[in-house]
Amino acid sequence: IFYAFEMGASYYSMLMDKVFNIGESTNQEGIYEFFESSSSIVNYILLFVCVVILAPIIEEFEFRELVFKTFPGCHYLIPVFVSGILFGLLHMQEFSLHELAYFPIYMLPGIGLALVYHITGNNFYASAICHSIVNLIAFIQIIQMYNM
């Protein structure tokens, strides 16, 4: 289920780039700038720890644990969509039309992670591991892009 939402976000990103040629989200551009300006292995290790380990743990706690506990007794789709929307908003660096165009790229995986959390019986570890894997894949792709 999560994979389907992640693929949907990827296809949406490609469509936005091909049809509207709007470039990358500000969030993604910031990551690229870090790789372009940094050559220290220590910086790469710190970024890996932040992106692949800490961010998924913190974000899954905020957007899955807390959101689902905020809506006890509600139909599960309410916290799923609230969680996805908040996740998408967090990844917007500014409120502009450019960033709004990329909102679904972050919202859809947020909904997918919320569904993983719900389907696994509100298992924080399941959604955190999925989140870490996606961030790890993105991290590896960026490293390959910069031939490191």
SS3 category, 72? coil
pLDDT of residue 41: 82
Mean pLDDT of 115-140: 93
- Condensed to tens digits (0 to 9), the pLDDT of residues 112-125 reads 999 999 999 999 99
pLDDT in tens, 38-93: 767 887 888 899 899 999 999 999 999 999 999 999 999 999 999 999 999 988 87
Q: In this structure, what DSSP letter does residue 146 have?
A: T
Structure confidence at residue 5 as a pLDDT band (50, 70, 90): low
- Residue 142 confidence (pLDDT): 80
CA distance 19 to 68: 36
Query: What is the per-residue DSSP string for 122-141?
Result: S-HHHHHHHHHHHHHHHHHH
